[in-house]
Amino acid sequence: MTRQPLHRNAVATPFQIPVLLAVFALALALSGCAPRPGAMTLVPVPAAAAAPRQITVFVATTRAPEDGHEGSYCSKRSRVMQLARYVIAIPPTHKPANIEWPKAGKTPDPATDFAIASYTALTEQELLDALAKKDGSSADSADEGKDAPGAAGSTAKLLDKTTGLAAMLTPAQAPALAARQTEAHDAARTGAEDAKGRNNVDIFVHGYNTNFPEALFRMAQLVVDNPDPISRALLFSWPSDGELSGYVADKDGATFSRDQLAALLEKLTADRRLGDINLAAHSMGCWLTMESLRQLRLAGKDKTLSRLGSVILAAPDIDLDVFQSQVEAIGPLEPPLTVLASPDDRALSLSNRLGGDRARMGNLDARDPRIAAMAQAEKFQIIDISSMSGTDSLNHDRFVGAAASLQKLMSPKISQNPLRKAGAFVLDAAASVLEVPGRIGRAAAEKVQ
């Protein structure tokens, strides 16, 4: 029997394209009508410097500085990468997965809003020195080693040293796996903290329709909800227009930034004072990330790629055929590249239509045997995270809530972790486990004798 293709080779007509763009914009507009945060959001607030909960976010951006607003960057493009450090106060009322924005036209109040405590422009050497410095962490000391409360912490059992696999195994198998997972996890953290004595760097690449304040505060939210005392947070912000109508302009802005992201990765991985360089991206930022990795491989920068601790693509807005050509050029990564997907991602469903009904990686169905076979053949991992809640009706940002659930599961280079391998998986948020579609726990059981 002939298999049905994963997409149709249809092409939108010139008449269809404006209509589909209008539908796309309307659907995105449903996610919220509040005014977009502007440069005034990034003006340092004196009271924020005394806030008890602060985190540090480093920034590398290909955006040009915004005229008249020090510390803010616009949608114009800069050939010279801009580097900076922000200290951000987190309000005591913060809820996981949320960004507490100030009211429109109001100065941020550190008691209720995310607020900038300080901004410092950096040189390349100053950035590297700051990332390597061993005093403190990206998260505030009060949060170190603790699980985030609420939605993010609801699946914290998945992050435990047993990786929540006991629920998936027989009583005889569970203790052996728990012991191996505990040993592997402790060895990894001890190695990072003691033997190496080096800080890891967690890089986030934002997606389409994102202005600079939105990208910066999203990074801050991810850091505060997922504190890691041995990692530094670095936002790579490319010149998105931050407009619903800017899809094509954003694709050009992402393309413009490929060389700079590749160069940044090369610089970071060459600094032996740093530990693993972990890379996560969302939506169109995933396309930029894959293009940069492809470029590094084709340029023979194998050492750079080997120093990557993990690469995670959340809701990637990448054509399936394009993705396959990218992974073929990049080759297998260790641990495997991970795709977080949701078949009901409405934003990517509309992107499918704009692309002539060609499948997008971010809304493939991990339960489809063809997808699982492709993941095995191409040596990447795809995880269905559709059991997680999104912050809007589009289901395009589920990674925000899933980040805590997946943080330690994605621990770099723990080869003893049986779920850290190529293939298709489903995140069951309620049970705090990963499942192999149709074969619950078999991947784990195969590793336990």
pLDDT in tens, 208-223: 999 999 999 999 999 9
Spatial CA neighbour of 109 closest among 49, 38, 48, 50: 48
What single-letter DSSP state applies at residue 357? Answer: S
Taking the C-alpha atoms of residue 227 and residue 149, their distance in angstroms, rounded to an integer, is 12
* Cβ burial, residue 379 (10 Å; 0-12/13-18/19+): middle
Domain ranges across the chain: 39-445
Sequence letter at residue 158 = L
pLDDT (mean) for 234-242: 97
Give the mean model confidence (pLDDT) for residues 177-191.
40
Inter-residue contact 426 to 384 (CB < 8 Å): yes
Which pLDDT belongs to residue 14?
A: 42
Return the pLDDT at 343.
87
pLDDT band at 419 (very low <50, low <70, confident <90, very high): low
* Cα distance between residue 359 and residue 365, in whole Å: 10
Torsion of CA 433, 437, 440, 441, to 10 degrees: -70
Judged against a pLDDT cut of 70, whether residue 6 lies above it is answered with no
CB count, 10 Å around CB of 424? 29
Q: What's at 181, amino acid-wise?
A: Q
Cβ-contact 422, 380 below 8 angstroms:
yes
**In angstroms, how far is the first alpha carbon of the chain from the final one?**
38
Work out the average pLDDT over 364-392: 88
Mean pLDDT over each residue of the chain, to the nearest integer: 78
What pLDDT, on a 0 to 100 scale, did the predictor assign at position 353?
A: 64
Mean pLDDT lowest among 27-36, 192-201, 336-345:
27-36
CA angle 21, 25, 27 (to 5 degrees): 115
Task: Please state, for a pLDDT cut of 90, what percent of the chain lies above it.
Answer: 55
The residue with greater pLDDT, 435 or 17, is 435
Q: Which of 134, 112, 130 is nearest to 120 (CA)?
A: 130
The model carries a pTM of: 0.79
| pLDDT exceeds cutoff 80 at 139 | no
pLDDT of residue 166: 34
Task: Find how far residue 49's CA is from the centre of its chain.
Answer: 28
Structure confidence at residue 1 as a pLDDT band (50, 70, 90): very low
> Can you tell me the distance from the alpha carbon of 318 to that of 320, in angstroms, rounded to the nearest whole number?
6
Residue type, 438: G
Task: Using the predicted structure, report yes or no on whether residue 100 has a pLDDT greater than 70.
Answer: yes
Which whole number is the average pLDDT over 410-430?
67
Find the mean pLDDT for residues 38-67: 96
**Packing angle, helices 346-354 and 16-29, rounded to 10:** 170
Over residues 296-303, mean pLDDT: 97
Supply the pLDDT for residue 335: 87
- Going by pLDDT thresholds of 50, 70 and 90, the confidence category of residue 386 is confident
Distance CA 73, CA 78 (A): 10
